[in-house]
Each structure stands twice: as C-alpha cells, then as structure tokens.
Amino acid sequence: MREQIIVCDTREQKDTHITEWFEQNGIRTVRSKLYVGDYALLNDQSVCIDRKAGLQEVYGNIVQQHDRFKAELIRARDANIKILFLVEQPEIMRLADVADWHNPRFAIWVKRGRKGWPPMPSVSLMKAMKSISEKYGAEWMFCAKEDTAKEICRLLGGDYGK
C-alpha cells in the first residue's frame, strides 16, 4: 500500500500541534485550499475533517456564523463529501455529552446582569448538532487537543509511514 499524503487547508489556523505531530511521525502533508473542511487525503477527498477548537467554536459556528456554516454543509453534501467534525473537547466523549457542557458564555451573561439574550442552552446546542448530522450526513467526534493529529490519521484511514 502506498503512503498517503494529508492535505491541510491553507485557511486552518493554530494547527501547529497537529502539523508538528505529523512531521514527527513521518506523515507527509501539503498545504492547499480544500473545498470543505481542514484535512483530507490528497488522493481521496470524499472524506474531510473539519477541526473545531472546542465547543465554543461549534457554538459560534451554529449560532453566530450560521449562514456561512450552513453553506459549507450544503457544499459538502452536494459534492458527496462526508464531513467529520473533530471537536477538541476532552471531557466530551459523544454527542449526548454536549447536553451537560457548561457554556462559559452563560457565566459572562450572568456576570453582565443577564442583559440581552441568554446563550443557547447546552441541550439545544446538542440538538442542533444532532440535526446537522441528520440533515447533512455530518458526524461529530471529540478528542483531547493532544490527540487531534492521531485522530485525523485514524479517521482518514490512510497508510501513514512510521
């Protein structure tokens, strides 16, 4: 089996913990703009991984950047690309655990005297994520930040050097 090369999207930021792990483990990468997501195999981009730096980022995508986020999901679905969201949130093991997540935005809202609209409850966030899975065929996975690169390799299922 020949070695696989991972494409890292040029728009992906703050991923040195991933790219350094790839380098240390002899995994070849190229930087290029991906149609959707942040990581894919060079020779098969039918599965893309979209890394999220925690549930705060997921919350922002779903609530504050809804139109842009939905457009990416539609692009992936229309291009028959399976999108896997890999969320760096170590205390979350599965989607159902999101319901128990303590959103830091809630504490800020309380501290400000409960002015404005309250943040979306965690149960509602979990339901929105589940709805995204059902409607667009996306999947949600969770890991600790230090395991992200290894999880990307596992999820892409390639043959990786060392």
By mean pLDDT, which of 57-71, 97-111, 134-148 is the weakest? 97-111
pLDDT at 119 over 70: yes
Give 77-96 pLDDT, tens digit per residue: 999 999 999 999 999 999 99
Residue 15's pLDDT is what?
85
73's torsion region: left (phi>0), alpha (psi -120 to 50) or beta?
Answer: alpha
Residue 28's pLDDT is what?
92
Where does the pLDDT of residue 104 fall: very low under 50, low under 70, confident under 90, or very high at 90 and above? confident
Measured in residues, the chain has a length of 162
Domains and their CATH numbers in the chain = 6-156 (3.40.50.10130)
Prediction pTM value: 0.89
Give 51-70 pLDDT, tens digit per residue: 999 999 999 999 888 899 99
Residue 82's pLDDT is what?
96
Where does the pLDDT of residue 162 fall: very low under 50, low under 70, confident under 90, or very high at 90 and above? very low
Residue 111's pLDDT is what?
75
Question: What whole-number distance in Å separates Cα of residue 112 and Cα of residue 119?
Answer: 12
pLDDT at 1 over 90: no
Once rounded to an integer, what is the mean pLDDT over residues 117-128?
88
Where does the pLDDT of residue 105 fall: very low under 50, low under 70, confident under 90, or very high at 90 and above? confident
